[in-house]
Structure 1
């Protein structure tokens, strides 16, 4: 099993309590730290018989580490969505997720493969959508620490509650009787419907306050901010 302690120390050092990443300090002080850690682990054998907790912690950590390492290589940048003359370059944006650039366990992976084939299809855990990050403001906030097998269920529960109770991601307008929520609930709707019969019911199950929402509550999706989730210091 991969040693997550070096990754955990980096996250605790460069991610604040609000999930913002100090890329400037990270790149200035330890630009190769993630790459060195991953390189030291890349030839380990993947144990296909690992339990779900081990696999969840493993692949969430790897997804986030691969993403942050790529951002550090390209930093400084304002957004993870490239622009050409002010127009979104969607091909380059998709290539960020689709390119098989990450080598581990004697195989190359893409971010899309880790997310869709491993975390979504194989492990069937909707809460990963509140844990894996694409490094944008619209994404879940990055956890200031690694995921560990013995804690991952609790960590995912905490991540889900933090996301759903963040008014920037989910809020209810009592005047319009409308639930406003992140487009993550639109893009991955089918994942959440495996747990609850509607998106409002899924959201309600994690709310810390009681709101008058149910399966028939109208939904409107919030603007998704692709700007880089960074701490300016």
Structure 2
């Protein structure tokens, strides 16, 4: 009986500690994004002047373990880490005009986060797309610091609202005339190169237009000719 009691106490304390750590991370991340993001852009200059808050948040992730069986917590955790790590990578090299100005920004630079030393590409492709059937909505919430990306939001992604946030950001992008450029008269549509690079993600249940029309208010003609406009890698910084 004593052994059972001690075991139950240990499980309770572990679970309670995990919940406290994740709650603290999500709340701190939410406050950070609210303070430094506006209209889809990041105030890198202000963050560069004092990186303590960002450093503390990222360091705290190494004391947190998330399990993919808790899908919403796991996804929200790594989406936020990705966006925070992108900001950290830019701030570390600021001023820069584009993330591509930093050699190996996505595929070589390793970030010490979530108990791992990992690249941004690893987070996107191995921990998120690779674990969750390449959910195409990830492409509308993982923000690469370029203006061609869907806009970063002034809030953290949260486990209890994640699905709604994923849907919301997907709808915003796919109803934006700058992101999806439609010529109804000629039945032509220009798509972001994101939809070219990750074509297989958007063709899981049809083609790209089928996916777009699932979220778009003004539907695109099914037989529209598809082309892709150049990606804008210019930095998404506030003026």
* TM-score between both structures, scaled by the size of structure 2: 0.85
Contact 2:66 / 2:74 at 8 angstroms: preserved in 1? no
Distance 2:165 2:227 in 1: 28
CA RMSD of aligned residues (A): 1.6
Structure 1 residue 166 corresponds to structure 2 residue 203? no
Structure 1 residue 39 corresponds to structure 2 residue 49? no
Cα 1:14–1:220 shift into 2, 3 Å: same
Structure 1 residue 51 corresponds to structure 2 residue 70? yes
Tell me, what secondary structure is at the counterpart of 2:148? Answer: coil
Contact 1:100 / 1:108 at 8 angstroms: preserved in 2? no
Distance 2:46 2:116 in 1: 31
Q: Deviations along 1:158-184, whole A, 9 cap, x unmatched?
A: 110111111111021023210111011
What are the within-5 Å matches in structure 2 for residues 88-127 of structure 1?
92=103, 95-99=104-108, 101-124=110-133, 125-127=135-137
Structure 2: any 5+ residue segments left out of the alignment?
1-17
Structure 1 residue 24 corresponds to structure 2 residue 45? yes
- Give 1:206's aligned residue: 215
Larger radius of gyration: 2
1:225 CA drift (Å)? 0.6
Distance 2:230 2:91 in 1: 26
Distance 1:67 1:32 in 2: 16
Distance 1:105 1:22 in 2: 24
Structure 1: any 5+ residue segments left out of the alignment?
83-88
- Give 1:221's aligned residue: 228
1:100 CA drift (Å)? 5.1
Could you say which structure has the higher helix fraction?
2
1:137 CA drift (Å)? 0.4
Contact 1:98 / 1:111 at 8 angstroms: preserved in 2? yes
Q: How many residues align?
A: 216
Structure 1 residue 146 corresponds to structure 2 residue 168? no
Q: Deviations along 1:16-67, whole A, 9 cap, x unmatched?
A: 1x21112222223x323211111133133x2335421111101101111111
